Amino acid sequence: MKRILLLSVCVPLFAFADGGPQITIYNDGFATVKEDRVLSLEEGVSEIRVTDMSGQLEPDSVLLRELGEEPFHVRILEQSYVNDPLTEGLLLHQFEGQNVRFEEVRQDGSIKESVGKVIRSGYIPGGRNQQPIVEMGDAVRFSLPGRPVFDGIDSDAFLKPSLVWQIESEKEGACPIEVAYITAGMSWEATYSLVAPEEGADEYDFSGWISLQNSTGKDFENAQVKLIAGDVEKIQRESLRAPMNAKFAGAFMSMDQAMPQERSFDEFHLYTLPWEVTVRNNELKQVEFLRSSGVKGLRSYTYNPMVNVRYYDQPNTDPDYGVTADTKVGVRIEISNSETNGLGVALPKGRLRLYRTDEKDGRREFTGENQIDHLAKNEKLKLDMGYAFDLVGARRCVDYQLDTTGKRAVETIEVKLRNRKDVPVEIRVVEPMFRAISWRITNESMDYAKVDAHTIEFRVPVPADGETVVTYTVIYRW
């Protein structure tokens, strides 16, 4: 008997054309792929197998376009998508009811051979398995007695996911085509690093990276890659989960290398990588697309303990509603995404990490992270980066009077702010007017700004290692 390997390659009825594929990846977990191939056609109807396709291809998205100067006028009459490539389990399934030779490696390294009849292989199409059954002489085993050894493989066996076409052509010969399709299993996301200088400075180093992940089951060699940023409407289909053991490959660039080009495309933004990229299956690859220094950011502090307050159509007369023990003061950084501030490009959504330079040793320390949404140029990037350790707020109601006959309520609020830093700060105090639609502020201890129909804001200076108290009285009517 002649033993052959499962990885034997059958001869396809096509060849790859020069140049790699073109891939447009969307940040919602899918991509469009365009590959140049050459089909060996006969006049009339031929069966053509196009192998090495994505394992998560959407068959009804396949498009074919002729590339030659002299058209063949090809037409696909029928298409089948085969996504059950040849494996040991599938081949064993095909031998059900037949005798198969098995090899078992003993502890001393010798090989024990046996022959058994495969009653049930245990293989279920779609990747599932069940317990196998093998008959050996007068005994039945509910397991394989060793590694199966096959004496031959059908030349028509599928080794990779494939498209099978019944294709009609007006002439025979080598026909160059482009095959395009949509596939799940490819995604990209942006990650950003914002490096702050030593304490007290407001100029940052801003960099952005694109992370590409491929879990299609296919390698894409020397691909021309485009990235679409935006919320593209697409029906999500069930697909395989991205593998957790993805390999990492970083594409690090020197200072003089070209950055990806960004431009508007329809209602989205498109980034084109300036060089060809090899994206292998189960690989996570990173490419830098943004780098800027001297980006100015404005750091601010906000005390908003009632951020989750609810508004009602009817007056809220509960004197205890709004009482809070929250003392945390939030930290926000605002950056203008403008050319004058060293940016001025469309920023795709992604994760941003903030680092601060330690003035003692010059090293960068991680100080927080957050998600950012798609941001157009000349808009402001607003980053909520946690809470300030040395700033404390306290809010309480010091007086509440309810007049149900006169349909009004009078409430006096006190907000205390303490600063344990060595430098003075300004804290924005956000106060919602939630008890009724009609309200009026009286007896405020400092000026305020009306943010909207339900909100006011105080900008409170707090001295170094000191305290500031803000009070106001509000009259509600309904």
Interval 56-90: pLDDT, tens: 999 999 999 999 999 999 999 999 888 866 677 77
Kindly state whether residue 102 falls inside one of the protein's structural domains. Answer: yes
Among 239, 255, 281, identify where a domain stops: 281
171 burial via Cβ count (<10 Å: 0-12, 13-18, 19+):
middle
Same domain, 92 and 225: no
Same domain, 324 and 405: yes
Q: Which residue has the tokens 């952005």?
A: 208
More confident residue, 200 or 435: 435
Q: Residue 290: what pLDDT?
A: 87
Same domain, 308 and 330: yes
Same domain, 261 and 340: no
Same domain, 408 and 265: no
Whole-angstrom distance, CA of residue 50 vs CA of residue 164: 6
**CATH number of domain containing 173:** 2.60.40
Same domain, 438 and 303: yes
Task: Judge contact between 48 and 164, C-beta under 8 A.
Answer: yes
Strands 22-26 and 30-41: antiparallel
Does residue 19 carry a pLDDT above 70? Answer: no
Q: Residue 71: what pLDDT?
A: 93
Same domain, 136 and 258: no
Same domain, 92 and 77: no
Same domain, 122 and 264: no
Kindly state whether residue 173 falls inside one of the protein's structural domains. Answer: yes
Average pLDDT estimate for 114-123: 89
Q: Residue 264: what pLDDT?
A: 63
Kindly state whether residue 447 falls inside one of the protein's structural domains. Answer: yes
Q: Which domain holds residue 324?
A: 299-344+383-477
Among 128, 149, 170, identify where a domain stops: 149
Kindly state whether residue 314 falls inside one of the protein's structural domains. Answer: yes
Look at the chain and report how many structural domains it folds into: 3
Kindly state whether residue 143 falls inside one of the protein's structural domains. Answer: yes
Whole-angstrom distance, CA of residue 249 vs CA of residue 108: 40
Same domain, 77 and 96: no
Does residue 246 carry a pLDDT above 60? Answer: no
Kindly state whether residue 365 falls inside one of the protein's structural domains. Answer: no
Same domain, 273 and 419: no
pTM of the model: 0.64
Among 125, 149, 173, identify where a domain stops: 149
Banded model confidence at residue 302, pLDDT cuts 50, 70, 90: very high
Same domain, 172 and 252: yes
Does residue 450 carry a pLDDT above 50? Answer: yes
Rounded-to-5 percentages of helix, strand, coil across the chain: 5, 55, 40
13: nearest Cα among 43, 34, 42, 35: 42
User: Any idea which of 23-27, 209-213, 256-260 has the lowest mean pLDDT?
Assistant: 256-260
CA 88 to chain CA centroid, Å, is 34
Kindly state whether residue 116 falls inside one of the protein's structural domains. Answer: yes
Look over the chain and give the mean of its residue pLDDT values, rounded to a whole number.
84
Q: Residue 463: what pLDDT?
A: 97
Average pLDDT estimate for 175-201: 88
Signed CA dihedral, 7, 9, 14, 17: sign only: positive
